[in-house]
Amino acid sequence: MTDYKGNCFCGAVEFTVSGEPAAMGYCHCQSCRHWSAGPVNAFSLWKPEAVKITKGADNIGVYNKTPMSLRKWCKTCGGHLFAEHPPLQLIDVFAAMLPGLKFQPAVHVNYQESVLSVKDGLPKMKDFPSEMGGSGVVLPE
Ligand SMILES: [Zn+2]
Ligand SMILES: [Zn+2]
């Protein structure tokens, strides 16, 4: 099984993810944009047991604005690590945290909230796929 290493901006927190992600893509939602201070969030979703903190576990801060997302970051540098999604039983390890992972996005989600239009030919979900509890509606690029 492949292990991918990740660390925060300063290196105080290190972690690994094992195996392959359940899904990869881009989220355009207002929450992701506001928290990341970027126009879009590149995500990779993993089963909780695939993610292991290998250094600095007590240096991780957490904030949950909603029960959907426990957002975690390094208390020293403020660098983002990942967001746990308990209702989905998945952890979003931000793709930028895993330089060794070949990022292969398959979908854009929450495209109705987009501030950055992307013409890459991938499906643009209005919110989420129906199997994740969304409408399943696909918007034009
Ligand atoms: Zn740090
Ligand atoms: Zn989002």
**Out of 5-19, 89-103, 109-123, 127-141, least confident range:** 127-141
Q: Where are the domains of the chain?
A: 3-139
Q: Which ligand is nearest to the CA of 97?
A: 1
Token pair recorded at residue 46: 């993993």
Q: How confident is the model at residue 132 (pLDDT cuts 50, 70, 90)?
A: confident
The whole-model pTM stands at 0.94
Nearest one of 111, 140, 91 to 40, comparing CA atoms: 111
| Alpha carbon distance 52, 79 (integer Å) | 17
| Alpha carbon distance 85, 81 (integer Å) | 13
Is the pLDDT at 1 greater than 80, yes or no?
no
Surrounding ion ligand 2 within 5 Å at CB are 27, 29, 32
Instruction: Give the Å distance between the CA of 115 and the centre of ligand 1.
Output: 29
Instruction: Give the Å distance between the CA of 35 and the centre of ligand 1.
Output: 16
What is the pLDDT of the chain when averaged over all its residues? Answer: 96
Token pair recorded at residue 33: 């944009």
Q: Could you confirm whether domain 3-139 is CATH 2.170.150.70?
A: yes
| Alpha carbon distance 40, 48 (integer Å) | 23
Q: Which ligand is nearest to the CA of 61?
A: 1
Q: How confident is the model at residue 2 (pLDDT cuts 50, 70, 90)?
A: confident
| CA distance to 52, 56, 70, 77, 79, per residue, from 12 (Å) | 15, 6, 20, 8, 10
Q: How confident is the model at residue 109 (pLDDT cuts 50, 70, 90)?
A: very high
Q: Which ligand is nearest to the CA of 78?
A: 1
pLDDT digits (tens, 9 = 90+) for 64-88: 999 999 999 999 999 999 999 999 9
Q: Which ligand is nearest to the CA of 109?
A: 2
